[in-house]
């Protein structure tokens, strides 16, 4: 049996197990790749592959650990209460306005290019509204993830930088023609939010609230003793400095999160007993997310270390008939949906994209067009269980991963389709070479 077939079977088995809820993602990420590596004859090197994968994701795991702690503590102190109260006054109990605001807020926050930060900030601001009005949180996760997937195409975002690096292209030149497609995708999401909003209006109606400012967010109901209203301005300044550091890249992301967490704890909870209490309060959330990150390291480590990723890429390109060669750009856009879902962005852009670009040049399709087309699958990519921020999103929102995947898959595919069609119409990548 070929390595490519082992790879496809491994991914299919993994997705089937978690989407049918026969196995938790944590267990499946460890067990499934290990079994397939042993069956494929890699028993001697499987341990090294696992360690390599874990090492690659370790900085991400550390970052998420301290990011969850930091923003959870900021919520405990009441930092986001004024924002929530302001949003309550603006929406006037209307679910439709809340859902449209979800897209708008996420689009603005996503400009920093970091999905984890985007989810933490938007969930902290919006989840109290969804809880207060008993709205469907699957709508929240769907809109946040799809919006983040679109905004992730900015030149400083990971996918565009990877595509430009892999094919040695200028990121700005690569990005600019994608803007019409991104705007069309956002417009589609606003329309989707309106549709969701009308369904919620029919279900729960307009919620009456005579004193909207009396509600002060999650922190009040969960940990009233942890509120620090007198330190709100300090906490706001600390958060702004943290986000500025994230954008400027002055220090590695994981280090910034650790420093911000330490400062927040010292200032807000100077007593050791208080610090232990706050960490214990959020330990369960932290463990559920970080454990999945390291388990995902085993999956990606085996996928790359055995050579399955490279074999899968070559197999797919080999299936493209010569008659379809001039259509390599839309074919690349189509392939980006399943492949960025099943394998990591690094594997797709550094492993598969150069092969697709090389095939395209034989039929007169420019590498720039292939690179732009390869970015169209990002809204679907974020649904992948190999994306760390996905676990953060569903954990903070209190939504089951499998439920989120089933609900959001079709809207994500539709967003990708809209961006692809507009991209071809504005010649960001031509329909035919």
Note the pLDDT tens digit of each residue in 52-111.
988 887 887 787 788 778 877 887 888 877 766 676 677 777 889 899 989 988 887 786
pLDDT exceeds 90 at position 259: yes
Residue matched to tokens 């999160």: 257
pLDDT exceeds 60 at position 215: no
Average pLDDT on 32-44 reads 91
pLDDT exceeds 60 at position 41: yes
Neighbouring residues of 276: CB distance < 8 A, sequence distance ≥ 6: none
- Name the pLDDT band for 211 (thresholds 50, 70, 90): very low
Contact 357, 165 (CB under 8 A): no
pLDDT over 70, % of the chain: 91
- Report angle CA 244, 248, 252 to the nearest 5 degrees: 100
The predicted pLDDT at position 218 comes to: 39
Average pLDDT on 36-57 reads 89
Contact 286, 65 (CB under 8 A): yes
The predicted pLDDT at position 300 comes to: 79
Among candidate residues 27, 155, 127, 187, the one with its CA nearest the CA of residue 397: 127
pLDDT exceeds 80 at position 119: yes
Give the lowest-confidence range in 144-153, 165-174, 392-401.
165-174
pLDDT exceeds 70 at position 412: yes
Query: CA 97 from chain center: how many Å?
Result: 24
According to DSSP, residue 321 is labeled -
pLDDT exceeds 80 at position 343: no
- Cα 258 to Cα 374: distance, rounded to the nearest angstrom: 34
**Comparison of pLDDT for 157 and 426, the residue scoring more:** 426
pLDDT exceeds 80 at position 163: yes
**Comparison of pLDDT for 247 and 280, the residue scoring more:** 280
- Name the pLDDT band for 207 (thresholds 50, 70, 90): low
Average pLDDT on 278-284 reads 85
The predicted pLDDT at position 235 comes to: 92
Among candidate residues 317, 385, 291, the one with its CA nearest the CA of residue 13: 385
pLDDT exceeds 50 at position 219: no
Contact 381, 338 (CB under 8 A): no
3-state DSSP call for residue 253? helix
The predicted pLDDT at position 141 comes to: 95
The predicted pLDDT at position 216 comes to: 37
- Name the pLDDT band for 114 (thresholds 50, 70, 90): low
Contact 391, 292 (CB under 8 A): yes
pLDDT exceeds 50 at position 20: yes
- Tokens read off for 367: 């590498």
- Tokens read off for 394: 């569903």
The predicted pLDDT at position 113 comes to: 62
- Tokens read off for 96: 């439709």
Average pLDDT on 117-132 reads 82
pLDDT exceeds 80 at position 405: yes
pLDDT exceeds 80 at position 289: no
CA quadruple 82, 83, 86, 87: dihedral positive or negative? negative
Contact 28, 17 (CB under 8 A): yes
pLDDT over 90, % of the chain: 31
- Name the pLDDT band for 263 (thresholds 50, 70, 90): very high
Among candidate residues 264, 433, 276, the one with its CA nearest the CA of residue 362: 433
The predicted pLDDT at position 212 comes to: 40
**Comparison of pLDDT for 219 and 14, the residue scoring more:** 14
pLDDT exceeds 80 at position 13: yes
The predicted pLDDT at position 220 comes to: 38
- Tokens read off for 46: 């499987």
pTM: 0.71
Average pLDDT on 177-193 reads 95
pLDDT exceeds 70 at position 185: yes
């Amino acid at each position: 049996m070929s390595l490519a077939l082992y790879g496809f079977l491994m991914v299919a088995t993994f997705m089937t197990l978690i989407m049918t809820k026969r196995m938790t993602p944590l267990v499946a990420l460890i067990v499934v790749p290990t079994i397939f590596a042993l069956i494929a004859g890699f028993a001697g090197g499987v341990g090294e592959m696992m360690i390599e994968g874990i090492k690659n994701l370790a900085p991400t795991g550390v970052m998420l650990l301290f990011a969850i702690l930091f923003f959870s503590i900021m919520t405990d102190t009441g930092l986001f209460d004024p924002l929530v109260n302001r949003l309550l006054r603006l929406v006037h109990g209307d679910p439709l306005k809340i859902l449209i605001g979800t897209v708008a807020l996420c689009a603005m926050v996503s400009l920093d290019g970091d999905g984890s930060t985007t989810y933490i900030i938007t969930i902290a601001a919006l989840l109290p509204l969804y809880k207060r009005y008993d709205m469907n949180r699957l709508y929240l996760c769907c809109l946040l993830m799809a919006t983040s997937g679109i905004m992730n195409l900015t030149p400083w975002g990971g996918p565009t930088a990877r595509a430009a690096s892999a094919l040695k292209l200028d990121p700005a030149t690569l990005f600019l023609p994608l803007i019409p497609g991104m705007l069309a995708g956002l417009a589609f999401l606003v329309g989707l939010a309106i549709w969701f909003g009308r369904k919620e209006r029919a279900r729960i109606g307009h919620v009456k609230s005579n004193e909207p400012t009396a509600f002060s967010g999650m922190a009040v109901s969960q940990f009233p003793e942890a509120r620090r209203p007198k330190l709100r301005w300090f906490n706001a300044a600390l958060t702004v400095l943290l986000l500025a550091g994230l954008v400027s890249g002055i220090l590695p992301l994981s280090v910034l999160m650790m420093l911000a967490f330490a400062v927040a704890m010292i200032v807000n909870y100077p007593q050791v007993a208080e610090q232990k209490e706050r960490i214990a309060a959020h330990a369960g959330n932290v463990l559920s997310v970080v454990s999945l990150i390291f388990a995902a390291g085993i999956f990606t480590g085996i996928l790359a270390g055995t050579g399955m990723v490279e074999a899968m890429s070559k197999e797919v390109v080999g299936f493209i008939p010569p008659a379809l060669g001039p259509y390599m750009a839309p074919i690349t856009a189509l392939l980006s949906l399943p492949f960025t879902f099943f394998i990591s962005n690094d594997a797709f852009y550094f492993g598969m994209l150069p092969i697709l670009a090389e095939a395209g040049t034989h039929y007169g399709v420019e590498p720039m067009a292939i690179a732009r087309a390869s970015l169209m699958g990002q809204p679907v990519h974020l649904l992948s269980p190999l994306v760390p921020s996905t676990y953060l999103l569903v954990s903070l929102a209190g939504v089951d991963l499998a439920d989120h995947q089933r609900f959001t898959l079709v809207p994500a595919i539709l967003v990708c389709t809209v961006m692809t069609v507009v991209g071809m119409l504005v010649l960001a990548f031509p329909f035919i070479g």
